[in-house]
Structure 1
Amino acid sequence: MTDESTRSAAQDELRSARTALFVPGDRPDRFEKAAASGTDLVVCDLEDAVTPERRSEALGAVADWLAGEARACVRTNASGTTELEAELTRLRGLPGLLAVIVPKAEEPAELERIHRHLDVPVVALIESAVGVARVTELAAAPGVVRLGFGHLDYSVDIGSGNGRAAMLTARSAVVLASRLADLAGPFDGVTPELDDVDRVADDATYALHLGFAGKLLIHPRQVAPARRTFTPGAEEVDWAHRVVAASEQGGAVRVDGSMVDAPVVARALRVLSQNREV
C-alpha cells in the first residue's frame, strides 16, 4: 500500500469501528489477548490504566509491540504533560500505530499538532467542561476523525453525578458536533461494571439512541454485547432491504403500514451500510 492508501484505510477503520477495547500499556502479556477479543479496535492505554511511575515502561512495551506486526491505537497522556512529549517522540513512525486517542481534548490547535507530528488520525476524547464548550471546534480540527465522550472524568470536572440525566446535555453536544463536522457517530464512555454484560448492553443501547455509533470498553467480556448493540439485527436488515426495494418502485409506497419517504430510505441505507457480521 502507498502511504496515502494506508492513511485512507486507517481512517475507514476508525470511522466504522463499533468497539474500542483499552488494554493497560504496562501489561504486554494482555496485548495479544485484547487483539483476539473480537474488538474492532485495540487501544493501548498510556494514561488512566497506568500508574505514573510505570508510564515510561508502558511506553516502551507499547512501542515495541507496534514496531512489529501488531496494529492498534494508543491513548496518550493529556496535552501539557511531560509524558505526552515523550510519547510523541517514541510513537512517531511506528508501522503499527493506527491512531491516537487524545484525552481531555480542549485545544484544536494541539490536536492538529499531534496529528501532524505523528501523521496518524486523531480521536479527540471530550472529558471536561472546556472540551464540551469547544467540541464543535475540536471536531473540525485537522486530523480528527472521530470523537469520544469520557463521562466519568466529565462528571468529576463539573461536580455532578455520572447518571444519564446529568450527562445528557454533554452527550448530545458531542453527537451534534460529530454530525456538523461530518464525522462518524462518536464513541460513548466506558461501563465500569466489569461483570455485568447486561449493563454494557443497556448503556450501549442508550448511547445508540442518542446518536453514538460505538463504545469504549475496559474488559474483553464487554466486547460482544457492545458489538451486537451497534450492529443491526436480522429484522432491521430485512426491513431496510424492503424499504429500499419499495423506494425503487417510485411514487408513494408503504412498508409495514408506514409511508416510505426520503428520510426513511436514508435510514434504511444507513442500516445496510452498518450490516456487518458480529
Structure 2
Amino acid sequence: MTVDDARSLLFVPADRPDRFGKAVGSGADLVILDLEDAVLPERKGDGRAAVERAHAGGAGRFVVRVNAATSEHFALDCAALARSAAPVPVMLPKVEGRAQMSALLDRLPGTRVLALVETARGVLAAREIAAHPATARLAFGSVDFSLDTGAREPSDTTTWARAQLVLASAAERRPGPVDGVTPRLDDPELCAADSALAATQGFTGRLCVHPAQVAPVNRAFTPSADELRWARRVLASLEAGAASVDGEMLDGPVRARAAAVVRRAERHQEDGS
C-alpha cells in the first residue's frame, strides 16, 4: 500500500520505537512516525534516531510527520531523513501554500508529500497545494482546523473545508484526500460513522490515533460485498450489450465508477486487507 491509496494511516510517537511493531501489525495501511505533536521538544532527538533505525532495518510501511517548516525542529528532522538509505514519504503539517512545500523539497529533493492542511489559510490554498508536483495527496487536520477557526465538529464550516480538499484533489487529479481523526478513542461506532460519512464526501482514507480505529476505517473505505456485486454486474452487462441494470442507465460514468470499485476491491484483496 502506498501513500496514494492508503485507507488507514495510524499515528505512533516517533520516540516510542517499542510501539512501531504493534502499529505495523494493527492492520493499518500506513504507519505515521510522528516527530511533531506526539513528541516533547526534549525528546525530538530520540525520535529522529528511532526513525533512522526503523528505516535502516526496513521495518514496516512508514510515513514520517516532520515538524512544520516554520519550526526550529524542521531542519534537524529533514537532516535525519536525508541520511536514510531509502526515500520515505513525508507528512508535512501546517501547509498553507507552495512556500512550505518548497522548504521541504529544498532539503529533501524528490520527496513525496502528504500535505496536511489544518488552517483556514491552508484550506483556502487547497488547490495550489494539490497542484504542487511533490504533493502525493492532501490530508485534513480537523482538530487544528477547529482550533484555528473556532468552528466545532460537525458544522457547516468544517463540512465546507472538507469539500475544498475533495474538490482541489479532483481538480488536480490527485487521489481522494485523507480525512482527520476521530478524537474519541473509546467509541468505535463513532469512528465507523465518521469514516462512512467521509467516504460519501469523497475522502478515500482517514487518520487514526489508536489501533482500535484501524478496522472501522478500513471497512469504510473498502467496497462492500454489495458494491462489488453491483460493479461486476454492471461490467458484465456492458459486455453483453445491455443498456441498464436495475433501471440505471449504463453510460460512461457508470462504467468508470464500476471499474473503479472493482480495482479498489482487488487492490485491497491483494494486500490481504
Compute the TM-score of the two structures, normalised by the length of structure 1: 0.91
| Residue correspondences, number | 266
1:81 to 71, 74, 78: 71
**Aligned partners of 2:62, 2:153: CA distance in 1, in Å?**
29
SS of the residue 2:52 aligns to: helix
Contact persistence 1:104–1:128 (CA under 8 A): yes
**What is the identity, as a one-letter code, of the residue corresponding to 2:153?**
N
- Which residue identity lines up with residue 38 of structure 1 in the other structure? G
Distance apart, 1:53 and its partner CA: 2.2
Amino acid at match of 2:22: K
Q: Please give the secondary structure, in 1, of the residue aligned with 2:139.
A: strand
Counterpart of 1:7?
none
Q: Equivalents in 2 of 1:93, 1:249: separation in Å? A: 56
Question: Where does residue 243 of structure 2 map in the other structure?
Answer: 253
- Residue number in structure 2 paired with 1:172: 163
Q: Which runs of 5+ in 2 are unaligned?
A: none
* CA offset digits 1:42-82 (Å, max 9, x no partner): 10001111122222221121122112222411001111111
Partner of 1:163: 154
Q: Identity over the aligned pairs, expressed in percent?
A: 44
**Judging changes above 3 Å, is the alpha-carbon distance between structure 1 residues 93 and 181 closer, same or farther for their aligned structure 2 residues?**
farther
Checking the alignment, whether the CA contact within 8 Å between 2:69 and 2:103 is kept in structure 1 is no
Letter in 2 for 1:222: Q
Moved over 6 A (4+): none
Do structure 1's residue 44 and structure 2's residue 30 form an aligned pair? no
Q: Residue 95 of structure 1: SS of its match in structure 2?
A: coil
- What's the offset of the Cα at 1:116? 5.2
- Kindly state the Cα deviation for residue 257 of structure 1 after the two structures are TM-superposed: 2.4
Letter in 2 for 1:253: A
Q: Paired residue for 1:109? A: 99
Deviation at 1:97, TM superposition (A): 4.7
Corresponding residue to 2:56 among 48, 61, 67: 67
What's the secondary structure of 1:16's corresponding residue?
coil
Q: Tell me, what secondary structure is at the counterpart of 2:9?
A: strand
Partner letter of residue 257 of structure 2? R
In structure 2, give the amino acid aligned to 1:202.
A
Gaps of 5+ in 1: 1-11
Residue 23 in 1 paired to residue 12 in 2?
A: yes
